[in-house]
Structure 1
Amino acid sequence: MAQFSKEELSFVEDLPKHMEIECLVCLKLLTDPHIVSCCGHNFCGSCIERVKTSNGSCPMCNEKEYQAIPDKKCSRIINGLEVYCKKREGECQYEEVKCRYRKCQERKQRRHLEDHEDKECPQRPFQCQYCRRK
């Protein structure tokens, strides 16, 4: 799974200031969030395992004896966050856009728009088979 920092993402709604969704080790959005028993902070599952293997103590409180367990509530919160597509400004192939023909009210995903405009749209200009005019 790709990891992103909060700055790389554009959230649909403002995040509450108290919401911790960043790993305190890699400083990216939490992936497979784990909570530690010593101080209750969250870390990516892979980050906290790497820390435990290297020096063992908690990165926040330096406690040597602690457990890191999956934080399902944190996972649900992060999975419920809505973010804007990074390519939403005229590039996203899944964005719904209006047909270019004025009288057509169809909206299609950008990836299907060309077929609609060139082959399906009842408002597209067509060439008369007899006089060859549009």
Structure 2
Amino acid sequence: MPVQSVCTCSQFNKEEHSFLKELLEHVEIECPVCLNILTDPHLVSCCGHNFCGSCIERVKASNGSCPMCKEKEYQSFIRSVQVYCSNKKK
């Protein structure tokens, strides 16, 4: 579920709102195909977007073009995705 669809300004204090806004602007953790949090993330060479490994393989098998930029020739690379949590104990 996209974070944007469940967050409203009135639900969070100023600090939490700032953190969520920053998260939405800088972190790509949602697969554009299934709209879930990335599982087995793959980065595609054509446009640099991330997809779940199973989603990008399914797309390649069905029509072959990138779901975001429609490029026919591309490679997918396994990518480690790290998410920074500002509340992590030091």
The answer as to 2:73 corresponding to 1:61 is no
Gaps of 5+ in 1: 83-134
Match of 2:55 among 47, 61, 78: 47
Cα RMSD, aligned residues only: 2.5
What TM-score do you get using the length of structure 2 for normalisation? 0.68
User: Cα distance 1:41–1:67, how it changes in 2: closer, same or farther (>3 A)?
Assistant: same
Gaps of 5+ in 2: 7-15
Distance across 2 between alignment mates of 1:21 and 1:52? 21
Partner of 1:20: 28
Compute the displacement of 1:6 (Å): 3.9
Q: Which protein has greater RCO, CA pairs closer than 8 Å, 6+ apart?
A: 2
Distance across 2 between alignment mates of 1:33 and 1:64? 20
What TM-score do you get using the length of structure 1 for normalisation? 0.47
